[in-house]
Amino acid sequence: MVQNKISDGELLELYHQGLTNREIAERLKVSQAAVHYRLVKLGLLNNCHEDNYVTPEQVQILHKMGLTTVGIAFLLKTNVQTVSQHLKELGLKDNYYQLEEIVNCITGAEIEDSIQGCKK
């Protein structure tokens, strides 16, 4: 089996043209997984949602508003992986854990542990 190698130059050129991973793979005659692998090795984000480019600043603003990773991804019309990557780069944690504490306070779950953390 002949193995097609991906030239970083060709890959970067197509990536910066805004092509999706699938389109790049078709042009280079390689698998989509191979394109994704090379992009990760080059430190680039997945190009599947390039039309809906998300900045770390957008993620940070929505995170400060208390949205979870899934909520941020939904509002920005991107995938959770992209949001998670930005949160990691910003040193932020998913707000899911804060929501979990609030729900425990409201529902009375783990009452003795939650009462001290509940703010009324």
Question: Mean pLDDT, 10 residues at a time, over the chain (120 residues)?
Answer: 70 82 89 87 70 83 91 83 88 84 71 52
Query: 25 lies in which domain range?
Result: 8-41
Same domain membership, residue 57 and residue 12: no
Q: Distances in Å between the alpha carbon of 7 and those of 4, 23, 33, 50? A: 9, 15, 15, 21
pTM for the complete prediction?
0.47
Domain count, the chain: 2
Asked if residue 75 is part of any domain, the answer here is yes
Q: Are 23 and 48 in contact (CB under 8 A)?
A: no
| CA–CA separation, 48 and 55 (whole Å) | 15
Asked if residue 91 is part of any domain, the answer here is yes
